[in-house]
A and B are shown apart, each in its own frame.
Chain A
């Protein structure tokens, strides 16, 4: 980290996203799902994209993996993985990268495994595609990884079909599959949303362990601030397709600066502060329509601190070298220490 307060940190990041914009064609005009967002993921770092449904966080992950639907178009000043430009890469080189150096875990483990093949066949196929050292090696690695993700009797599981596995087990298999080729970046799109709460905690712990043990960078997409608090190094809060606040997890939870982030945190019960009978905070209103584009702050229609200046383009402000936010107010309703 550099010394002066205003110099942004500059290292060779594993994943660089700069000015990423994704438009989706809809019958009522183009929908700006992601609006000019920038963030970076360093090697071995856990970065979270947080936001409510429809804020564009999943679309961002799909854009990074090159999996956007046909109706979406994606522009970026820079979208690069380890220096490789992902906006101009051809299909074959992208396929060499995907599953090998960057892997993805999907939200819904019930549909993310192919019902027509056994677990083993699907795990081995990834290895065969990228490493190709023969099925014996691949099989051994599959057994190792299944054991590592906490699946008992992994060798027997290899012969089973996805429908014979529970949701938690399937998500573990998905994680194992993503790890088959020792990726450097793991993109996890709400990996715990479809699971019940006890399994959620196990899967999160597993992801954190794996990230630490293997030194993988993790880009975690979630709407769950509890998840963020547990494993994130850096947090990017998204609202209506834009990043409104970016900070280290410690800074964000200690001193959120954007009214939206403050609102989100107010919705969570805090041990020792929230008493029985207290009402939790809510954010009034609904997310604005993203069809046709937005000028000014997208949150102003729901914000308690909105002023006329919010309708004009909003400046990016810096609270610390690692903490930026976009709001017309430099200081707004800072939460008193708990």
Chain B
């Protein structure tokens, strides 16, 4: 049966001229949401990084002679304090700059801690399934039964509030969405042929998880990570507003809103400025998340 014309050599494969797909950079700049998000996020990062260089005053120095000066565009405002001063005479522009550091630090570290916990749980549950999945699912359900704000309040009330406590508490609480999304995404990818192909090629379990599955659930991971970072920043602001997060005199945006609430009817900028900064940062992070998902998961690569 071997003589049925098989012996002739295979023809040289057809050369197909492939149009070069648009580069990642091109796709990123063609996505307006991503561009706006990157601009907002970049602005906040620049504020945080360059704070010591730009800030005209020390954010902690009080000057009781210059209390509640309005920003420069209002009557009685002056370029000496572009965003005015607060009730203790501290330069509001400087405090807003330094506040970006706290918010970004919280967002990033909470995202990392909860991301590592949640992604590990989700990957393991989705990949191994069976009993492992059952146990992880129970842990996720148990976690979902705890209201984040309430638990965070209780912990902070017991241990006392500080930046570190807020980061750890939120980080150890906010992994649930990572776990749920990673679990279902992993289950989907796990059943695809290339995972079986990798196993058939002798890849170890760790190698399959880290090398085959993780890169393919990454678009989902990016979205969850950005949403969670934004939500962590808002939660920190909420905790600080309640007096249980970052403690004075640290310039956290949430804390600045809290300190300003007694003056908001006469000096509205005290609450409007950190509020706007907070909204802009969270909006920026969310836009970047959505944009990255679109850029990294085009049809051809799913």
Contact = CB atoms under 8 A, between A and B. Distances in A.
Contacts of B4: 229-230
A290 interface: no
A70 B129 contact: yes
Main secondary structure on chain B at its contact with chain A? Answer: loop
Interface in A118-162: 125-126, 129-130, 149-153, 160-161
B201 A99 contact: yes
Interface in B1-35: 1-2, 4, 6-16, 18, 21
B216 A106 contact: no
Which one of B15, B197, B218 has the highest number of Cβ atoms from chain A below 10 Å of its Cβ? B197
Interface stretch (A107-115, A291-299, A314-322): A107-115
Contact of A150 (B1, B8, B11, B192): B11
B202 A97 contact: yes
A18 B198 CA distance: 27
A9 to B, nearest CB: 18
B199 A67 contact: yes
B25 to A, nearest CB: 17
A232 interface: yes
B256 to A, nearest CB: 43
A205 B201 contact: no
A166 B6 contact: no
Given A99-B202, A125-B211, A150 B16 contact: no
A265 to B, nearest CB: 15
A205 B6 contact: yes
Contacts of A104: 197, 200
B130 interface: yes
B273 to A, nearest CB: 43
A114 B198 contact: yes
Contacts of B13: 149-152, 168-169, 172
A231 B4 CA distance: 8
A163 B301 contact: yes
Nearest to B19: A164
A200 to B, nearest CB: 13
Interface residues of B, number: 40
A92 B1 CA distance: 39
Contact of B200 (A65, A111, A161): A65
Contacts of A117: 211, 215
Contacts of A129: 201-203, 207
A98 B12 CA distance: 30
Contacts of A152: 12-13, 15
B180 to A, nearest CB: 21
Contacts of B21: 164
Interface in B195-229: 196-205, 207, 211-212, 215-216, 218
Contacts, number: 122
A5 interface: no
B145 interface: no
A231 B7 CA distance: 11
A286 B142 CA distance: 48
Contact of A174 (B197, B199, B216, B301): B197
Interface residues of A, number: 56
Contacts of A108: 193
B15 A112 contact: no
A96 B201 CA distance: 9
B10 A130 contact: no
A208 interface: yes
A218 interface: no
A103 interface: yes
A113 B202 contact: no
A214 interface: no
Contacts of A150: 10-13
Interface in A186-215: 202, 204-206, 208-209, 212
Interface string A87-100: 00001100111111
B202 A130 contact: yes
Given A104-B200, A106-B193, A202 B11 contact: yes
B302 interface: yes
B268 interface: no
B138 interface: no
Contact of A205 (B1, B8, B14, B192): B8
Contact of A202 (B10, B16, B205, B207): B10
27 contacts: A65-B200, A70-B130, A92-B204, A98-B199, A98-B201, A98-B202, A99-B201, A104-B200, A106-B196, A106-B197, A111-B192, A112-B194, A112-B197, A114-B212, A114-B215, A116-B301, A117-B211, A129-B202, A129-B207, A149-B10, A153-B15, A161-B301, A164-B18, A166-B16, A169-B13, A177-B197, A231-B2
Given A91-B205, A106-B200, 15 more contacts: A67-B196, A98-B200, A100-B202, A106-B193, A106-B197, A107-B193, A114-B197, A115-B301, A129-B203, A130-B202, A168-B14, A208-B2, A230-B6, A231-B1, A231-B2
